[in-house]
Structure formats: structure tokens, C-alpha cells
Amino acid sequence: MTAEFQSTSGPAAERSAGPARGRRAPLRPIAALAGVSPYAAPRRLQAIDVHLDANEGPALMSEVALRRLAVLGADALQRYPSADVLEREIGATFSVEPDRVLVTAGGDEAIDRVMRVMLEPGRVAIQLAPTFVMIERSARRCGAEVKSVPWSDDGSIPLGALLNAIDDATAVVAIVSPNNPTGAVAPLDAMERVIERAAAVGAIVLVDLAYVEFADEDPTIRLAQQENVAIVRTFSKAWGLAGLRVGYTIAAPEVIRWMRIIGGPYPVSGAAVRVACDMWRNERRRMLACVEQVRNERARLFDLLRDLRLDPLASQANFVAARRRSADEARRLVDALASRGVGVRGFERDPQLERLVRITCPGDEATFERLTHALRAATQPRAIGSDRKGAPAGARGSIRGTDAGGPPVSDTSPLTAGRTAEITRTTDETAITCRVTIDGAGRSRVRTGVGFLDHLLTTLALHARIDLSLECRGDLHVDDHHTVEDCALALGSAIDAALGPRAGITRFGCAHAPLDESLARAVIDLSGRPWCEVKLRLVRERVGDLSCENAPHFFRSIAQTMRAAAHVDLIRGENDHHKIEAAFKAFALALREAARLRDPASTDFPSTKGAL
């Protein structure tokens, strides 16, 4: 052995003198993480299909962007991204040089970079409260102190208090306008007073304008000339691109340089940058039209909330917040809307905001109508339903919800009006909640965990013109059999309960449905006597995540609890996906005809027995 390896001093000796092998010291994260939890948006167990809880932009803009994303070349993925072109486009729009613009991964990352540039232990960030939660979170991660100046009760900016709070320790003053979650705005002249005071102590004013497209005035060009201002904007709201995570900052060249140093070189993917740039160049007119739709909805929503005595706050964002009398009332309103498939934002974990319910304007007339119906149903209940003689155990004749300010009430939204039933089915294998309205519009919200089954049930609801809400948690770690079978049993039970005694129905239904090369026929008799014959001639083992053997089993199971005779036959076909879907469509059309009321006032049964 050489002298080098025989040495008992130097690095080798130091390593040997370290902790004994097998011992491990705990990791030591930075002190700023102590007692802090990761950001997490609230999650609810109800099946939500109208998402108005995150202030995301109009779906129309997202659909346009998706088409543009689909035609990108492979180099958008193969090459490291550059945001130079987008930064030049943004700069030209706001009359600033490109070196004053930085594209980031959403507005959140821009806020975080500004905070990391300016804050450290011993420095102070000032915010107007309540405000966007990431302002304080980002500041505290830097080890800085956060001082909150409350917004005035009337929603105006507390200018005197804010100016007085700025001192030599202040490094950042954050203003979100329109503010989230209240929708209040800070006037330009007030912001300029704050900017002047902050400049005297070397502080930067972070102005978050995420919602400014929806506001009456846009101060960007005026503010962009200030050397101690960082303007944060985003493509997530008016542009409808929250999923792409594209935001940007406009600030002095020196600030932008610091922000580039403090973060990674490629914050946004090449695909996201290209779509955002394409939208910026070519879709501004469409964006402005969507913004105008949202502004119109906002005014109507404010009026409705006021008429319903829900105490709305004046807003210039893409949402309206309602202030309830107590945290419990706010929670009941959120839950009542969720039970109708409409998700809105509550703040039950924040003592400062626990009375607030924030509702996003969707920018879509049909969705907005769904929201308004749900709000009225949640706050102005009236009884509905039909005679429920003969309804099976476990089924209810009308869907029940929770009133925003009182005891349980009946749901009167369009999704649940008419011959309506709800059932729950819980076994060791599945837990299912199923709600059905026979005389519906074909709306559905389905979550089974089996994607192709979700598609088939959505198709069934659409063509049968029934409104369907079905949520299932099944033992899919075993296979899909129990989920498919129990969903069919639950749906059949709900339809049976909704049909009631079956007086006045057509009873028989027969339909054919093609899908490309496949043609299926279904014949249904709502006789009260279950029987099923199915011939689909499937050859594959699976279609997507659905076992093909479970497709005919679904029809047998639903016929059993629906108390119907059903014959479902494939006349011709080659593709198993097409065969199954054609069969579901034919079944839906036949069910629609069989369940149709010949005379809503009739008490006669379509049977020589005088009963079904």
C-alpha cells in the first residue's frame, strides 16, 4: 500500500472520524418552513361539473388555445424554450422595451421572484388584507416579516394607514387590484402616492393586476414608467390559460435582471410560450368579447345575490363575493351549490374570510344560467317530486339538498326538476350516490373511476334526455366488475324510483342507433317484470379500461333493478368500441320513448292488469 493510502491525517481521516456507519442525522430545512403547510385548494367530495371556485378564465379561450396547441411542431418540445418573442410582443403592447419584461410560470412565480429579490430576515413586506394568499406565503418563505393593513369596510383603499405603515424596514408593498378575494380596486392616484412613499425608503411596490382586464381602468402603461414598481399579470384569467402557467412581470431593467438571476432560465415550456404568443397576437378581439360577457354576468350575478339577500361585494374582477352572516351560513351555501354540481369557493379555514363565498363568472351563458338556477334553488326552496308509491328501499322521491340558511330542502334546479329520485348504495365493494331526473335535458356528471363507463353513462343520459349525477368509489384495484355492476344496479333503482307507479307512461320503447359501421337495436318494456337478453358479439378483452364482458352485464343489471324487460342486439358491426356505444345509444333512445308520459295527468296504467 502506498504512503498516500496509509496516511492517518487529511480528508480520509476526517471522513473516518465522522458518524458511525448506520447512524443518520435528521435533515434540517430552513427556519422559514417551520409550521407552514403546502398550498392546497379546497377539495369537496361531491361530484362537481361546474367549476366556479378558482377564478379560471372563459372556456372558449381555452378551447381556442387547445386547437393552437394541437398544431405545434415537434421543436416546441425538443428545443429549450425562449420567451424572447413573447416578451417583445408584451413590451410593444404596453410601450416598454423588452428588457422591462419577464415571462414567468404564471403570476405566482413572478410574485415569488420579486419577494426573493427584495426580502430577507429583518426586512418587512406590507400587504392590504385580505388579499391573494401567495403574497404572504412568498414573503414569509424569505424569512421576512409581513404587516397587514386592512382594507376599509366600504372596500376603498386605506391610503393613510398604508402610507403610515411604510418605514425604513419596508422592502415590498403589495397591492392586488382588483383584489382577490373581494374584487375591490385601488385607484391609480392612490397607488402613485404609495409608490412615491415606497421610493423614499428604497422599497418596491408589487402591483398584481391579474384581474385588470375585467376592471373599468387599466393602469399598466402609467405604472410601467415607475422605477420601483413590479407589475404582475397573467394569462390565467381573461386569456383562459391557467393550465399553461404563463404570467409576466413589467419592471425596471435592473429589477428584471435581478429576477432572472434569482430564478431558473426556462420557467415556461416552449409549447406554453408559443400558444400564449399566438393568442396574444391573434385572439385579442375574442378575449375582449369574452371579458365583456364576464362583465355582463358579473353585473347580473351581483343583482341576483342582492335580491337573494346574500350581501354581495362590489367587484371589478371576474367574480363576485357574497358575505354571509356567519361562517356556518357560508359553509351551507357552498355545500348547497356543490350538491347541485356547482363548485364555488369558501374560506372556512381562514378566520378572516370564513363568512365569504366567492363565485366566478364563467363567461358562458348556459353555464351562467346553471349557476343562477342553482343559487335560487339553494336559497328559495319549494317542494317538487311525484308520487313515490312503490319506490324501493334506499330511494327517495326527490333530491334533497341543504338550504343556505336553514334546514334541508328540495332541489329545484333544472338538473333535478320533474320525476326525480336519489339513491345511495354502499357495500364492501362500492359506495355510490345516484340522482336521476327522467324529464331532464340530458345533462350529466359522472365519476365512476372507469373512463369508458363514464363516457357510456354520459351518452346514455344525453340520448335518454335524463339528467344524471352518479359518483362511485369502487374497488378498482381488484377489477372493474363490481363498479360496472353496482353502477348499473344503482342507476336502475333510481330510474325505477323516479318513474313512481308508472301511471300514464308509454311503457314500450324501440330504437335503432348506428355508429359508423355498427348498428344496434334496443327494445324496452317498463313492465315491472325484469328480463334481459343481450347479444353484442364482442371479440376484444377490453375497450379502454372497461372489460368487454361487463358491457352486457351492465344491461342485465340495470334491467333487473329498473324492473324492465330489455332486448339489446347488435345487428352488424366490427369495432367493439362502436358496438358497445351504439348499444348504449339505442338503449337510451328506447328508454326515452318508454318513459315518456302520454298524459301527465293520467292515472291509467298501460296494462290490462290495471297495474305495472
CATH number of the structural domain spanning residue 271: 3.40.640.10
Is 370 a domain residue?
Answer: yes
Looking at the structure, tell me whether residues 227 and 240 fall in a common domain: yes
Between CA 198 and CA 117 the distance in angstroms is 16
Element (H, E) at 396: strand 395-396
Q: What integer pLDDT is reported at residue 411 of this predicted model?
A: 36
Looking at the structure, tell me whether residues 491 and 521 fall in a common domain: yes
80: which residues sit within 8 A by CB, 6+ positions away?
Answer: 266, 270
Is 559 a domain residue?
Answer: yes
Looking at the structure, tell me whether residues 262 and 307 fall in a common domain: no
* Domain termination site, one of 319, 349, 379: 379
Is 527 a domain residue?
Answer: yes
Domain, as residue range, for 576:
395-595
Looking at the structure, tell me whether residues 164 and 249 fall in a common domain: yes
Q: Which residue has the cell 421576512?
A: 144
In degrees and rounded to multiples of 5, residue 3 shows phi and psi of -60, -30
Looking at the structure, tell me whether residues 318 and 401 fall in a common domain: no
Among 45, 44, 43, 49, residue whose Cα is nearest residue 342: 49
Q: What integer pLDDT is reported at residue 8 of this predicted model?
A: 45
CB 462 within 8 A of CB 444: yes
Q: In total, how many domains does the chain have?
A: 3
Is 225 a domain residue?
Answer: yes
Looking at the structure, tell me whether residues 240 and 317 fall in a common domain: no
Is 428 a domain residue?
Answer: yes
* Domain termination site, one of 233, 262, 282: 282
Looking at the structure, tell me whether residues 324 and 218 fall in a common domain: no
Domain CATH for 365: 3.90.1150.10
Looking at the structure, tell me whether residues 476 and 343 fall in a common domain: no
Is 198 a domain residue?
Answer: yes
Looking at the structure, tell me whether residues 75 and 213 fall in a common domain: yes
CB 496 within 8 A of CB 392: yes
Among 529, 527, 545, 543, residue whose Cα is nearest residue 583: 543
Looking at the structure, tell me whether residues 225 and 186 fall in a common domain: yes
Looking at the structure, tell me whether residues 290 and 278 fall in a common domain: no
Q: What percent of the chain is modeled with pLDDT above 90?
A: 71
Q: Which residue has the cell 315491472?
A: 528
Q: What integer pLDDT is reported at residue 398 of this predicted model?
A: 33
Domain CATH for 429: 3.30.230.40
Looking at the structure, tell me whether residues 225 and 331 fall in a common domain: no
Q: Which residues of the chain have pLDDT under 70?
A: 1-21, 41-47, 380-418, 600-603, 609-612
